[in-house]
Structure 1
């Protein structure tokens, strides 16, 4: 189970075609939801730093690759 924190960088573990996201893309956790279940709001950006997707993901859909200290 992933325990991501605010501003951690995460790796997407599965494709989400409806959002234009592919497994392996990196995003930043911008919100942690506890209710009704654990979920992470993750922002994905393009090469220019513009938001390309903002999606709520379940713990099994991400893997932490860098932790905010």
Structure 2
């Protein structure tokens, strides 16, 4: 799938090293095209107060577009209780 800059995307696999989980919502901030490789995207993830919690570069296959069937939810970061 091709994602435009500044659109929301949904994570489809955990990124353990950045404490991101399937279903987390981020915003595409950069696109990376490398000949012969899958298109990658830098995605910024925020907490509910708007602070950045991670900016990660991921292959497009780890992301999907939001759908009308998606229901946002909140989870508490296990590190900040």
Q: Is the structural similarity TM-score above 0.5? A: yes
5+ residue gaps, structure 2, are: 68-81
Kindly provide the CA deviation profile for residues 11-34 of structure 1, in whole angstroms up to 9, marking residues without a partner as x.
000011100000000000000111
RMSD: 1.3
Report deviation, 1:35: 1.9
In terms of fraction of residues, the more strand-rich structure is: 1
User: Which residue pairs with 1:46 in the alignment?
Assistant: 47
Compare relative contact order (CA 8 Å, sep 6+) and give the higher one, 1 or 2: 1
5+ residue gaps, structure 1, are: none
Normalised by the size of structure 2, how large is the TM-score?
A: 0.75
Count of paired positions: 65
